[in-house]
A and B are shown apart, each in its own frame.
Chain A
C-alpha cells in the first residue's frame, strides 16, 4: 500500500479514542505488511516466515492488551505499535540465537561508546549530521541483508554477542551464535573468517557511499589508517 494512503497518526489516534477494537482493526488492515517488514528488520532476518508471522500475531495481541488498559494514553499510538513490534522481534531473535533474552541494551550501548572513545573513527562519527548517521545505519542494514548467507549470519551473530566477545576477547561466542542460527556446529576459525569477510564488505560499501573513515580515509582524502 502506498505510504500516502496509510492513515495518519492523528487518524489512528481518533480511531483509538473511538474504540480500541476499531484501532486494532485499522492497524491490521493498513499496517500489517509494514509491521511484518518492521519485525523482519529488527529480527535481522533470522526468523523464518512462520516465526515472522508468529511475531506479528504476538504483536497484535500485545497491542490489543495494551490499548484496553484503563490508563492507556492514546497520544501517538504508532509509537506504541512500533515499540511493541520491536520488542517482540528482538526477543524472538535472541531466543532463536540462544542469547540472553533480557540482555540489557544499555550494556551494548555502553560497550559501543567505550570502543569509540578516543578513536579517529569515533571522532569522524561525531562529525556526521543526523541524516548522515541515519544513512550510515541504513547502509549497514542493507549491506548485511545482501551478504551471502554465511557472512550475513556471521554479521548478525557478531552484533548479537558483541558484548561477550569484547569481554572474553575470544570468538567462541560468535561460533556458538552462528551454530544456533544454522543448526549446525560452526567452528571458531570459520566463524571468525566469515565475520572478517562480512566486515570487509560492509566497510567497502560504506566507504563507497561516502563514509571513507570506515576504510581509514578522512574527508580530505588522506589515509590515516
Chain B
C-alpha cells in the first residue's frame, strides 16, 4: 500500500467506515432489525409470489423427501398437479437447471414419463370401455 499523508489517512478512514457499514454481518444477531430492511419493489413482490402456494411441497419433492408419498394421492389429483409435483410443469418454481443435479433430473423426468404413460393408458382404457 502506498504511503499517505495525514489528511488522506483521515479520508481513507472515513471510506473504511462506509465500507465496513456495507459489509456488516448481522446474521449472528439474535434479533435482526426487520423494520429497517429494504422494502421490496412491486416486481420483487411479484417474483416472490410467483413461487406459488405449494412451493414448499415442490421443494421437498425435488429433494426426494416426499417421494415415498408421491403416488399415494394419485386418485385425487390431475395430470397437471402430478406433473407440477414431478417438476415437469411450466409453473415449477425451481426453474433453474443448474440447481437440479443429474440424478434428481433423471428421477423427475422418469416420474413425469410414468405419469404421462399411466394417464395415457387410463384414457385408452376409458375410451375402450365407453
Residues of A within 8 A of B (CB): 3, 6, 9, 21, 24-25, 28, 32-34, 36-38, 40-41, 44-45, 49-50, 52-54, 56-58, 60-61, 64-65, 68, 76, 78-79, 82-83, 85-87, 105, 108-109, 111-112, 115-116, 118-122, 125, 134, 136-142, 144-145, 155-156, 158-159, 162, 166-167, 169, 199, 202-203, 214, 216, 225
Contacts and interface: CB of A to CB of B under 8 A. Distances in A.
A37 B19 contact: no
Given A60-B59, A64-B59, A76 B23 contact: no
A41 B37 contact: yes
12 contacts: A6-B34, A38-B32, A49-B41, A49-B47, A53-B50, A61-B94, A108-B23, A115-B9, A121-B13, A125-B17, A139-B21, A140-B21
Contacts of B94: 57, 61
B17 A214 contact: yes
Contacts of B33: 134, 138
B15 interface: yes
A86 B24 CA distance: 11
A141 B25 CA distance: 13
Residue among B29, B37, B39 with most chain A CB within 10 A: B37
Given A61-B59, A169-B2, A158 B19 contact: yes
Interface in B15-61: 15-30, 32-41, 43-44, 46-48, 50-51, 55-56, 59-60
A193 to B, nearest CB: 15
Contacts of A225: 7, 10
Interface residues of B, number: 51
B32 to A, nearest CB: 6
Contacts of A136: 17, 21
Nearest to B43: A49
A44 B22 contact: yes
Given A37-B40, A125-B17, A85 B22 contact: no
Contacts of A86: 25-27
Classify the interface of chain B: helix, strand, loop or mixed.
helix
A120 B16 CA distance: 13
A105 B51 contact: no
A41 to B, nearest CB: 5
Given A28-B56, A85-B27, A159-B23, A116 B17 contact: yes
A31 to B, nearest CB: 9
Contacts of B44: 36, 40, 49, 52-53
Contacts of A85: 27
B14 interface: yes
B99 interface: yes
B122 interface: no
Contacts of B65: 21, 64, 68
B22 A138 contact: no
B56 A25 contact: yes
Given A36-B48, A108-B23, A120-B10, A65 B18 contact: no
Contact of A33 (B10, B25, B48, B55): B48
Contacts of B24: 137
